[in-house]
Structure 1
Amino acid sequence: MKLINKRVLVFIAVCLLFGGCNTEKKESVLVMEQMQKETPEDHKIIIYQMMTRLFGNTNSTNKPWGTLEENGVGKFDHINDAALKSIKDLGASHVWYTGVLEHAVCTDYTKFGIQLDDADVVKGRAGSPYAIKDYYDVNPDLAIDVKNRKAEFMSLVKRTHDNGLKVLIDFVPNHVARAYHSDAKPENVKDFGETDNTSLAFDPQNNFYYIPGEPFKVPEGYTPLGDTSFPTKDGKFDENPAKVSGNGAAVSQPSVNDWFETVRLNYGVDHVGDGTKHFEPVPSTWEKCRQILAYWAEQGVDGFRCDMAEMVPSEFWGWVIPKIQEVNPEIIFIAEIYNPNAYNEYIDQGKFDYLYDKVGMYDSLRAVMENRQGASAKHFTKVWKDLDGVNNHMLRFLENHDEQRIASEEFAGSAIKGRPAMVVSATLNSGPVMVYFGQEVGEPGRGESGFGGDDGRTTIFDYWGVPEHQKWVNDHKYDGGQLSDEQKELRAFYKQLLNVTKNSEVFKTGKLYDLQADHKNAEGFNADRQYIYIRYTGKERVLVVTNFMGESVSPSINIPEALIKEMGLTVGKVKAEELLTGKELEFELGKGSKLEIPAYGALMLKF
């Protein structure tokens, strides 16, 4: 594998440099082996993700399966200057407005000329934000004046930029809503499927895959909207021939566990046949997606989070991303991806700026936070080493709309337990960091919402209020006026950490030295429950020690002499600033200095 080969080459080079790697040079070689090999680059953007329809909603009714009128909905205009200033103050550089594009909903907007959606192919009353029904329009739920919805979104884009933040939105390339129809597309644009030959299961120039001769049937056992009613709830949906579902289920009656509310887009790969690729001439879907991305780039959007990007061929991304960069050279693309074996492909060939680090760092951090049997902080070392060469491109997070809330009983049960993991996420490498709205005040995602259920996640399918987040919203003052002292303290932690991370050169371009191996036998150090490393440049060094235990610990800190020399220092006492608290302290640069690490906390010592 490419990354392993790089490591081997570096090891050989080190051996030659130090005279064949004899025993006298063992410590120097060890120092190199514990250092990140890739050259650090400044990719330290801080993304604040919000579920846009929930963010500004102050209605606290929270009736299961409640309508928009009953449970309320957040609007574009609710995200006012006060909100954006607070997000900027938290440390964010980008806001990801999730669920902006028009998607299928079970709310009647026919008086505004918007087609009524069929409840039998909609998940939840508010609908999935990943079942897009018009790529050139925005969700009418989010507008105060539905007829003026696009202008209200553009005002939000301008307001975001005026507050020194950049705008990210979703691009959902793999699938669209079952009843996709754009009534807002530019005159020169044709709809997906408009010119398809529906008699063929696959054609490279078709936009969808078909099941010729078979009409679509609603999944057996699917009961939309629970026991509530809706005009189009009748157990039927008119689609003939049936299209292949979003997850690739090539059956006319998908199961309730399939992405049956969506249909898969065809990028010239014969997924219903032999899997062959047909990319010449350029498939119709490629060009239609380019038009969509260019449209929003021209509207001032600064980047796209691309849903399930690995289900779309990397050849398409490598073709389209440079074209959109011609519209805006600074635009960024983030891939939702879960296959580590494809990381290099989607960076090198696909031209993505950043990839999700879910199956590596998130999963490893979560296992230690939950204190699972066999879980160990030592595994964090393996994670960054496995990613050596792409660490700068990995987006780290502890929460997003797909994952359970840290404070939920299904995860850690307490937001405080997220503090050491958030420090590792933000400071271990030079890549981007993301927080999800409400994470910074300990929102637990509790409540039976409807389709979203009560599973430790904040629903993305239902009209809902987010109670702990609403305390910070405080009637759109966005000042945290209703937060408890504990919540204010938690938010202050996030604010300090994110701002230090974003503004410190050492976390943007500093080298990494992993000290975990040097502390396997250190007094008072539990290598399964504490994690320790140094980030450094020629002018700045920060020692980071994290503690995943519920009590404070005072381990003996051991920094090898070879590393001290590498940093241009000498053994002895140094004065340090603790970056999370601003306190000053003194410790021994070498071996044996004891430092107290707070329960579920960290020290970040700049010296």
Structure 2
Amino acid sequence: MKKITIVAGLSAVLCATACKTKMNTMDKTNQENNVRQKEVVYQVFTRLFGNKNTTNKPWGTIEENGVGKFNDFTDKALFEIKDLGATYIWYTGVPHHAVIRDYTNIGISNDDPEVVKGRAGSPYAVKDYYNVNPDLAMNPANRLQEFEELIARTHKAGLKVLIDIVPNHIARKYEGKNNPKGVVDFGANDDVSVEYKRDNNFYYIPNTAFEIPDTDKPLNGESNPAIDGKFSEFPAKWTGNGSRMAKPDRNDWYETVKVNYGIRPDGTKDFPELPWGYDAKNYQEHFDFWKDKDVPDSWKKFRDIALYWTDKGVDGFRFDMAEMVPYEFWSYMNSAIKVRNPEAFLLAEVYNPAEYRNYIRLGKMDYLYDKVETYDKLKDIIQGRALPDDLSNIQNRMADIEHHMLHFLDNHDEQRLASPEFAGTPQKGKPLMVVSTTISSSPTMIYFGQEVGEAGNENAGFGTHSRTSIFDYIGVPNHQRWMNNGKFDGGQSTQEEKDLRDFYKRLLNFSRNSSALMGQFQEIQTVNRERTAGYDPGIYSFVRWSDQQKLLVVTNFSWLTTSSFELIVPSDVISKWNLRDGSYTLTDQMYQKQTATLKVQNGEGKMKVTIAPSESFIFQL
């Protein structure tokens, strides 16, 4: 094998006798979930999307660096997101979280910079679940109404709405100023004299005061009357990541406190457990199970929060750090959401593959992040640490749940795809995107700016470069050029950025309309790796098909090498596709320019392919 620089990878699997069994499982899963088309989630960091200010001063204020608003999502902006291929918008950072800005004139207390990350604050330190971030409103006093209007505009544009719920932890200074009638605030009825009680909302360190962690200077050393080395919390509560220290470490989630779901400090469960066999039951049966059960108070509080936003027209949720909350709670809450809205889209951040099936089947999640498997492997491949062949094992292992594993290459937590720390350039990210989108029937997610090559190079202050900061007021340069001062027409974009957005638009819209991508899958990598001359290490290939459509996907992850070879389509695929000996024309579906001829002889297919660095073909028979 000759030495070659590999830039990215692919995935695929299912072969020989295992293929039929696993694909039947996949088809059955899709039928049970009434799968009609691929969904595409467009994640926006709401505070940053509409910001037109390009100052980008580290630790800059709103006045210096600007901030986006709900109203920046105009009909034109929403049309362009829809036209890109999205079916859902995930509005990240909507619930009211702690911020360093004075809103006391509308009844909001100031937050202490010593327990807030950055100046704009973390969206995952929610301060009031029954209202929204005042920074996002033209008139902060009417912020909830402005968000309700955005929900209506989004629906009018033919898109559905997702927001975050963060059940594992809340802001250190949570204040429910907008609770509906009868809703008691978190911790209001807690017995603070003990570490744990089932119906306490928090865990406590009795008779001990909270201490500020030893961190870098808040607000970069700026003078602020609230910065005094103190924060009043007695007794101290456990920190969001589970730290039981009254003085958390600087790397702990010190701005948050952990919510108690009836898990005792020794890890045992203090609530009813699901009986054997409930992994095979539907959400209505789960809902019926919990009807007469006595559950911890925190379960009820978060169920009511989810139903509150469901009733306002929110179409689903992204659940932060879901694996830190027991799946029995998710069964309880998700079944309640589904009874209220059977079409709700429920997406969870889970990073433990050993628990995936529990959160899908027992927790009634629709989708989980496919981060630890597919995402991490693609990153390894593009950075030269693995060959694309490795992805075959991933698809094989997850064949029974592949539809539930949402694919992404960019989000608010991860390094930008185009950053030097990931792919290095937007072009090197293209083969990853083709594979991530077409290898599975799962939804695809992209992060705003990804489609125009945003690399996250800015020094925002608290946040670091390569990840667009979620803690600061900052601009997103490539996105701002496409936004073009609110025209949303790419008027300031470079030609390379326009071409990249066109690539994403073609790929995402094709994926939405492809029946084959909701059908069966088989890798043809192994036979080509073993038998095909010129099939370089950076090449990956697989097939997808339905009764109506047959696709052959070939990707080149090499950044340096153009490859020419005669691709083999093995006899078992030819048989499943019911192809007789003869010649068949295939056309690339991305740009409709490239064609190839598949010659079938003695039940095996071959076709000549020449593929440039970072190029991909989606050939349709």
Give the equivalent residue in structure 2 for 1:327: 340
Q: CA offset at residue 138 of structure 1?
A: 0.2
1:205 paired to 2:199: yes
Counterparts of 1:412 and 1:30, CA distance in 2? 33
Among residues 321, 331, 342, which one is paired with 1:308 in the alignment?
Answer: 321
Among residues 458, 477, 498, which one is paired with 1:467 in the alignment?
Answer: 477
Counterparts of 1:35 and 1:389, CA distance in 2? 8
Among residues 365, 368, 371, which one is paired with 1:355 in the alignment?
Answer: 368
Q: CA offset at residue 474 of structure 1?
A: 0.3
* 1:49-198 correspondence to structure 2 within 5 Å: 49-198=43-192
Amino acid at match of 1:481: G
Q: CA offset at residue 583 of structure 1?
A: 2.1
Counterparts of 2:17 and 2:450, CA distance in 1? 41
Q: CA offset at residue 575 of structure 1?
A: 1.1
Amino acid at match of 1:371: G
Q: Is the 8 A contact 1:106 1:230 kept in 2?
A: no
| Alpha-carbon distance change, 81 to 172 in structure 1, aligned in 2, over 3 angstroms | same
Q: CA offset at residue 105 of structure 1?
A: 0.4
Counterparts of 1:245 and 1:406, CA distance in 2? 31
Counterparts of 1:305 and 1:224, CA distance in 2? 29
Give the equivalent residue in structure 2 for 1:317: 330
Counterparts of 2:396 and 2:17, CA distance in 1? 16
User: 559-568 or 353-362, which moves further after superposition?
Assistant: 559-568
Counterparts of 1:281 and 1:586, CA distance in 2? 63
Amino acid at match of 1:261: E
SS at match of 1:38: helix
Give the equivalent residue in structure 1 for 2:590: 580
| Alpha-carbon distance change, 83 to 525 in structure 1, aligned in 2, over 3 angstroms | farther
Q: CA offset at residue 230 of structure 1?
A: 2.5
Amino acid at match of 1:464: I
Counterparts of 1:532 and 1:224, CA distance in 2? 51
Amino acid at match of 2:268: G
Q: CA offset at residue 30 of structure 1?
A: 7.5
Counterparts of 2:134 and 2:544, CA distance in 1? 47
Amino acid at match of 1:253: K
Q: CA offset at residue 250 of structure 1?
A: 0.4
Give the equivalent residue in structure 2 for 1:407: 418
Q: Deviations over 1:399-435 (max 9, x none)?
A: 0000001111111210111111111111111111000
SS at match of 1:596: strand
Counterparts of 2:197 and 2:22, CA distance in 1? 51
SS at match of 2:194: coil
Among residues 526, 529, 548, which one is paired with 1:539 in the alignment?
Answer: 548
1:38 paired to 2:47: no
Give the equivalent residue in structure 1 for 2:388: 377
SS at match of 2:610: coil
* 1:381-530 correspondence to structure 2 within 5 Å: 381-454=392-465, 456-508=466-518, 510-526=519-535, 528-530=537-539
SS at match of 2:179: coil
Q: Is the 8 A contact 2:40 2:87 kept in 1?
A: yes
Q: CA offset at residue 586 of structure 1?
A: 3.1
Amino acid at match of 1:156: L
* 1:7-26 correspondence to structure 2 within 5 Å: none
Amino acid at match of 2:438: T
Q: What percent identity do the matched residue pairs reach?
A: 47
The list of structure 1 runs, each at least 4 consecutive aligned residues, that deviate by more than 6 angstroms after superposition, is none
SS at match of 1:133: strand
Amino acid at match of 1:443: E
1:290 paired to 2:300: no
SS at match of 2:512: helix
Counterparts of 2:16 and 2:187, CA distance in 1? 62
Q: Is the 8 A contact 2:515 2:548 kept in 1?
A: no
1:597 paired to 2:611: yes
Q: Is the 8 A contact 1:130 1:176 kept in 2?
A: yes
Q: Deviations over 1:206-260 (max 9, x none)?
A: 0000000110000023421112232311221000000000000001000010001
Amino acid at match of 2:80: S
Amino acid at match of 1:425: S
Q: Is the 8 A contact 1:198 1:210 kept in 2?
A: yes
Q: Deviations over 1:359-397 (max 9, x none)?
A: 00000111111122xx01011101111111000101000
Counterparts of 1:561 and 1:62, CA distance in 2? 58
Counterparts of 1:79 and 1:30, CA distance in 2? 47
Give the alignment's Cα RMSD to 1 decimal: 1.6
Q: CA offset at residue 277 of structure 1?
A: 3.0
| Alpha-carbon distance change, 81 to 427 in structure 1, aligned in 2, over 3 angstroms | same
Q: Deviations over 1:296-349 (max 9, x none)?
A: 000000000000001000000111111111221111210100000001100111
Amino acid at match of 2:586: A
Q: Deviations over 1:483-519 (max 9, x none)?
A: 11111111100000000000111112x2101111111
SS at match of 1:95: strand
SS at match of 1:182: coil
Amino acid at match of 2:539: Q
Counterparts of 2:453 and 2:152, CA distance in 1? 30
User: 57-66 or 567-576, which moves further after superposition?
Assistant: 567-576
SS at match of 1:288: helix
Q: Is the 8 A contact 1:201 1:212 kept in 2?
A: yes
Provide the aligned length of Structure 1 versus Structure 2.
577
| Alpha-carbon distance change, 114 to 486 in structure 1, aligned in 2, over 3 angstroms | same
Gaps of 5+ in 1: 1-10, 12-26
Among residues 254, 266, 270, which one is paired with 1:273 in the alignment?
Answer: 266
Counterparts of 2:594 and 2:22, CA distance in 1? 28
Q: CA offset at residue 527 of structure 1?
A: 6.0
Counterparts of 1:219 and 1:516, CA distance in 2? 52
Q: CA offset at residue 528 of structure 1?
A: 3.6
Q: Which has the higher contact order (CA 8 A, sep 6+)?
A: 2
Counterparts of 1:322 and 1:378, CA distance in 2? 39
Q: Is the 8 A contact 2:163 2:317 kept in 1?
A: yes
Gaps of 5+ in 2: 1-13, 273-292
Counterparts of 2:22 and 2:427, CA distance in 1? 30
Counterparts of 1:482 and 1:260, CA distance in 2? 41
Counterparts of 2:581 and 2:596, CA distance in 1? 13
TM-score computed with the length of structure 2 as normaliser: 0.91
SS at match of 1:520: helix
Counterparts of 2:25 and 2:569, CA distance in 1? 19
SS at match of 2:144: helix
Counterparts of 1:94 and 1:334, CA distance in 2? 12
Counterparts of 1:544 and 1:190, CA distance in 2? 55
Amino acid at match of 2:133: N
Give the equivalent residue in structure 1 for 2:249: 255
Q: CA offset at residue 28 of structure 1?
A: 6.1
Q: CA offset at residue 577 of structure 1?
A: 1.9
Q: Is the 8 A contact 1:50 1:98 kept in 2?
A: yes
SS at match of 1:225: helix
Amino acid at match of 1:568: N
Q: Is the 8 A contact 2:168 2:320 kept in 1?
A: yes
Counterparts of 2:464 and 2:524, CA distance in 1? 43
